[in-house]
Chain A
Amino acid sequence: MSAMPKRILVTGSTRGIGRATAEYLASQGADIILHGRHREDVDAAVARLEAAPALVSGIAADLSSRADIAHLAETAGEIDVLINCAGIYEEQTLEGLDAQSWARTMDVNLTAPWLLTRLMLDGLRRRRGLIINVASDAGLLGIAGGGTYCASKGALIGLTKALAIELAPDVRAVCICPGPVATDMMTQSVAAARDHEAALNQWTNYAPLGRIAAPREIASLIAYAASADAAFATGSVWLMDGGLTAGKRI
């Protein structure tokens, strides 16, 4: 793979796909700005990357707060690549509708990537930078009880395309849609189930490949998207979902 760009901000990088992405990119020599909601998680993530051959710093910010997003953008400074990985999932059936859950999910999963892009745009333009939005198979397929999450991720795919068209040729935008991945988000969903084993089994067999991806696998695709090898990609939606959105087995 070609050399990595110099300065990369990865939101939601204290856990899951964001953490794996930040660790992989740092191992490839990119300077990484880590982000998480809680200061102690960010500090721990920075400490884990002490031995990396690159500069690593961390910023704590609550992405449901616009003031915090502005603080994050300002503190991070000019960057080459913005990776919007932070996301939340809250089960919300129509009957149990909670307006706050809708607002929170939209704020973190959709408005934060848009606002960060807008606030960091001048620097991204100067550096001919890249935005990588991490959506989900749920942006393309419906989940019962996941309407809010689906709406936010579908909109994130739309945001990626709109940015790609508007900002070309200076800035590129790519969207990655992972399927089931072994993250804390999944662990929580298994823990919340009445039958943990059945829940894990369901996740394992959700995609035709019959397994759950490791966060590191998604990190590899994100790193490829960030590399110069992928320089002709913009507005692209890259699925890495074990065949989940391709169809169903009977």
Chain B
Amino acid sequence: MITGAGRGLGLAMARALVAQGCRVALNDKSESQLAAALTELGDCAVSAAADLSSVEGPALCVDQALAGLGHLDIVVNNAAINIENDIARTTDALWDMHLAINLRAPHLVVARATAALRQSRGVVLNVASELGLHAIPNNVAYVSAKHGLIALTRALAIELAQHGIRVNVLCPGTMDTDLMQECAAASGNPKEYYAVFNEYHPLGRIASPEEVANFAITLVSPLTAFMTGSSIAFDGGSTAGRVWRAV
């Protein structure tokens, strides 16, 4: 089951898992993008449509995935929102929405999926961000929620280890997703927008969703069977340190 699978990293992960022979249950808040993803993946995909911002939605999402797939081996909590604002403009509603989707929903999804994952001795992958490891200005709600998701991952890993369930968290850097392209277009100067983000990462570029997805499926595969409670940066060196440019 993958949340936020209508586009971007979630869709790339769905494609990669289907290519490995998995059947997938997909969730996305956009009905049209979810429908397009389900059409593309055909018989290999079922819908797990639910509103993850609500208290009831995450359980509904898991229930639909179980109804459609019969059992669950892998749960990927990928859905997130990121609405940048300085602290003065981060309203109560905006703060609550970030915590609900980016932090509470993964918690409630895992809580609902625990029984099924115990049967399959399954694995959970939470998708945080490099911003779960450090901060940038004017993004206080997102940074807080993603730091919380890393801590939640560790707590879940410790609690569920006794049942053979692994829980890890991936912290990607910036990816060249549809969202990135939309933001670049909206900036009025797409070339400059991309240049800023390329330079932000020491490797001098942003990632493709496909390369992050390929790495992510390693984290839910038997190759990483001894890994649990780990937070893994995949960020072009962004959180490793600072680059001094000669001036």
Q: A residues touching B (Cβ–Cβ < 8 Å)?
A: 66, 93-95, 97, 99, 102, 106, 110-111, 114-115, 117-118, 121, 138-159, 161-167, 235
Contacts and interface: CB of A to CB of B under 8 A. Distances in A.
Contacts of B152: 147, 150-151, 154
Contacts of B160: 94
A158 B135 CA distance: 7
Given A102-B104, A148-B107, A154-B151, 8 more contacts: A94-B114, A95-B114, A99-B55, A139-B151, A151-B152, A151-B155, A154-B150, A159-B147
Chain A facing B: main interface SS: helix
B139 A162 contact: yes
A165 B137 contact: yes
B104 A158 contact: no
Interface in B79-124: 86-88, 90, 92, 95-96, 99, 103-104, 107-108, 110-111, 114
B148 interface: yes
Interface size range of chain B in the complex: 35 or more
A150 B152 CA distance: 6
A138 B150 CA distance: 11
5 contacts: A110-B99, A150-B152, A154-B154, A156-B144, A158-B135
A157 B86 CA distance: 18
A148 B103 CA distance: 10
The 7 residue pairs across chains A and B that have the minimum distance between CB atoms: A154-B151, A158-B147, A155-B148, A142-B154, A150-B155, A161-B135, A142-B158
B143 A158 contact: yes
Nearest to B157: A142
A162 B140 contact: yes
A206 to B, nearest CB: 14
B145 interface: yes
Contacts of B99: 106, 110-111, 155
A108 to B, nearest CB: 13
A139 B144 CA distance: 12
A154 B137 contact: no
